[in-house]
Amino acid sequence: MVEIKVINSIEGFKELEPAWTALIGSTEHIFQTWEWNYIWYKHLGKEYDLNILLFIDGGKIAAIIPLVYSKKGHFPWKRYEFMADFVSNYHDIILSSDANINNTILALKDYISENFGKFDYIELRFIPQESLMIKSLNTSPLNLIGVDHTPVHMINIDKAFDDYLVKDVPREFRQDIRQQIRKLLKRGSLDYHQCKEDVELQEVLTEFFRLKVESLKKIGHRSSFFEETKFQEFDRELYSSLLKNNWLYLHVLKFDDKIIAINCDIIFNGHVYCHESTYDCNFLKKFSPGHIVRYMEIENAFSLRCKDVDWGQGDLSYKRQWSNSKKMTYRFYIFKDKPFIRQYYLNKLRPSLRAAYVYYTEQILPKIRKASSRVFITGSKTPAP
């Protein structure tokens, strides 16, 4: 029988590092590592209460679901969500290789039943399509609603770099970038390199924050969290930790010794995750330093024989231009009981969201049910409320 132990103190979180790290070998996502989540909570978790669920089977930790209780929310309900939600590309259950995920989900159901008064719902988002959690949730007795969240564009590295450019990248797009590189080399010196020392990393991050804030203000953002000290401190410690573990894939592009573009990406288990990037918005007109540094970085990923390049959340045009495949992520809302689903979606939401819910249940959901076996609403044999 699977039992649940809850960690809700920073001391317990620290002590959990060895056991957490031992489970990470079975995952492919950097965002599930202990370092990523602990550093996030240290710097950005003051508005959240820890609620890390440990699933104990046979005296051993079989799975971890790292949740936090959100003290600030858009709605007047108590909500649990994944830790480090808004700074992570993906979230998922952390599962040992020999654990039974269905037993884990059943234990989660018992936990929800026993803790009715502590929360109203759990929101789990950015779950990748390959996750075992999706199928298990979909067939579980939990009261939940699941929806397609957002596509993630990717580059599958299954051929030579030149073949990829010819077959998968629009001709005008790739020719324009190559032409820009040639023109810049005629105007001055172009230097592209990977940051491998912490001293240089801290200097580069200082310039990264300046360029990022400047570029965001130029497109109309009066302020951003890149200006906040706590977020800058989070980035500095996170990237230092990633560098120490050889997981940082940060590249700098300089023109005549001046930084014109920075990509703060991550390489983990053969996957390249595009995380944060910026460029000099005041650089020479008709040049796109962001595209140039990305071109060089992708070429380097091919030379390293990585598995893929993952662009993260969002359906932006530049991601589509570089990509040759994509996958979906999903969002699940787990509720205490079925009546709360109706109250949540019909009585309390803003009109725009209420209309979106009605459109989903009346137009989209019937098509999904008819076209495939992916039934996202469980806990009842009747249609969604």
Whether residue 92 lies inside any domain: the answer is: yes
282 lies in the same domain as 350: no
> How much is the pLDDT for 122?
87
Helix %, strand %, coil % of the chain (to 5) = 45, 25, 25
How confident is the model at residue 380, as a pLDDT?
A: 37
Distance CA 322, CA 169 (A): 6
Question: 219 φ, ψ to 5°?
Answer: -100, 15
Q: Residue 322: inside a domain, yes or no?
A: no
Same-domain pairing of 36 and 123: yes
> Looking at the domain assignment, is residue 318 inside a domain?
no
Domain stops at, among 306, 339, 356: 306
CB burial class (10 A; 0-12, 13-18, 19+) of residue 273? buried
Do residues 71 and 177 share a domain?
no
The pLDDT value recorded for residue 383 is 35
What pLDDT score does 381 carry?
Answer: 35
Which of 172, 207, 183 has the alpha carbon at shortest distance from 286?
Answer: 183
The pTM assigned to this predicted structure is: 0.86
pLDDT score recorded for residue 377: 39
Residues 179 and 282 in one domain: yes
Predicted confidence at residue 172, as pLDDT, reads: 95
Structure confidence at residue 348 (pLDDT)? 52
Half-sphere exposure of 310 (CA within 13 A, CB side): 28
Place of tokens 């459109």: 359
Evaluate whether residue 345 is within a structural domain: yes
Question: Under 8 Å CB-to-CB from 247, ≥6 apart: which residues?
Answer: 30, 266, 267, 268
Q: Are residues 162 and 217 in the same domain?
A: yes
Structural domain includes residue 274: yes
* Domain extent at residue 18: 3-152+328-371
Q: Of 70, 147, 62, which Cα lies nearest the Cα of 106?
A: 62
Model confidence over 76-117: pLDDT tens digits?
667 899 999 989 999 999 998 888 888 999 999 888 888 867
In a domain, 228, yes or no: yes
User: Both 54 and 127 in a single domain?
Assistant: yes
Domain boundary among 259, 275, 306: 306
Q: What is the pLDDT of residue 341?
A: 61
Q: Does residue 290 share a domain with residue 173?
A: yes
pLDDT of residue 325: 96
Question: Do residues 148 and 7 both lie within one domain?
Answer: yes
Q: Would you state the torsion angle of the CA atoms of residues 126, 129, 132, 138, taken in this order, to the nearest 10 degrees?
A: 90
- The CATH number that applies at residue 190 is 3.40.630.30
Residue 376 lies in a domain: no
Domain identity same for 98 and 190: no
Whether 336 and 198 share a structural domain: no
CA distance 34 to 19: 9
Same domain, 83 and 98: yes
Task: Give the pLDDT score at 259.
Answer: 97
* pLDDT tens, per residue, the chain with 385 residues: 899 999 999 999 999 999 999 998 756 789 999 999 999 999 999 989 999 999 999 999 999 999 999 866 555 667 899 999 989 999 999 998 888 888 999 999 888 888 867 777 888 999 999 898 888 888 888 878 777 768 899 999 999 999 999 999 999 999 999 999 999 999 999 999 999 999 999 999 999 999 999 999 988 877 788 999 999 999 999 999 999 999 999 999 999 999 999 999 999 999 999 999 999 999 988 899 999 999 999 999 999 999 999 999 888 899 999 999 999 999 888 877 665 665 655 555 555 555 665 666 666 656 555 544 443 433 333 333 3
Q: Please tell me the total count of domains within the chain.
A: 2
Asked whether residue 55 is assigned to any structural domain, the reply reads: yes
Cβ neighbors of 149 (< 8 A, separation 6 or more) are 125, 126, 127, 328, 329, 330, 331
